[in-house]
Amino acid sequence: MTRDGSQSRMARITAAVRPVPVGVGLVLVALLTASIVGIREDRQLPDFDAIEDISERKQAFFEFLAPIVMAENARVLDQRARLLDLAGKLRAGERIGWLDRRWLGQLAEEYAVDWDPDSPLESIEPLERRVDAVPVSLALVQAATESGWGRSRFATEANNLFGHWCYQSGCGLVPERRNPGAGHEVAAFDSVADSVERYLRNLNTHAAYAPLRAIRARMRGNGESPTAMALADGLIRYSERREDYVAEIKTVIRVNRPIIENVRATL
């Protein structure tokens, strides 16, 4: 709450990414998502290199990126709320209409889950593991680490904050130190929001991050909120550095926690 008793902008956004009771908050989540969707669009990457003070640069980076991550998380949790509502009906033996079946099929395609329209319940558990949010602080710290706090060539020229690769000629920027014979490029995005969307999709669908999804699902099952520190253990294959990369991410989370908390309080 602000000093005058009103809710801060970040608090309103945070409310949009909290779990909603099945069958109760579907409309609420949709409204909250719509109210912040403008945050996701038309936000160009600032010139962070022009900010000389390191603490100010970090705060500016987090202030810029946090609302975009929050908005994408809200979109995913909107999907999750509807998914859990339908899952409850299917597990109770209820029939669902063709519109809901079609939506589940589209969701399964989006999240790379096998889908049989005659046996929708078979897809529910894998969807529940995949259709979920990523802790905001984890996304912020990975973006900072991968993009040099928004100052790397790939960030400034391609809106790529998370080091995503692509494999078609012309799909992005060619790394200056790419090994001879290698064909990958660093993916280019039309906006930072598109980069964030790809990041969440990557963690939620790629086989390399099944451990992260398992940690998140276990915490959900125990009634816990997934944390950045816990899910970081599932990033062992995000980098060739493996354990060293996970350790670095955890260190950056710890070191920058005060700044992140300050951003959450002031946005």
Residue 4 lies in a domain: no
What average pLDDT score do residues 53-81 get? 97
CB environment 245-265: b (16+ within 10 A), e (fewer): bbeebbebbeebeebbeebbe
Instruction: Tell me the β-bridge partners of 172.
Output: 187
Q: Which is more confidently placed, 184 or 224?
A: 224
Residue 202 lies in a domain: yes
User: What domain range includes position 184?
Assistant: 9-266
d(CA 206, CA 112): 9
Question: Which one, of 95, 90, 144, lies nearest residue 121 by Cα?
Answer: 90
Residue 2 lies in a domain: no
Provide the pLDDT for residue 14.
Answer: 40
> Is the confidence at residue 156, as pLDDT, over 50?
yes
For CA atoms 57, 59, 62, 65, give the dihedral sign: negative
Average pLDDT in the chain = 85
What average pLDDT score do residues 167-192 get? 76
d(CA 233, CA 9): 31
> Is the confidence at residue 16, as pLDDT, over 80?
no
Q: What domain count does the chain have? A: 1
Residue 129 lies in a domain: yes
Provide the pLDDT for residue 186.
Answer: 80
Residue 47 lies in a domain: yes
d(CA 84, CA 253): 31
d(CA 108, CA 254): 35
Whether the Cβ atoms of residue 46 and residue 40 lie closer than 8 Å to each other: no
Residue 3 lies in a domain: no
Instruction: Tell me the β-bridge partners of 165.
Output: 186
Q: Amino acid identity of 94?
A: E
For the chain, the helix, strand and coil percentages under 3-state DSSP, each to the nearest 5: 60, 5, 35
Residue 81 lies in a domain: yes
The domain that holds 241 is classified in CATH as 1.10.530.10
Residue 206 lies in a domain: yes
Unique residue bearing structure tokens 């009906």: 89
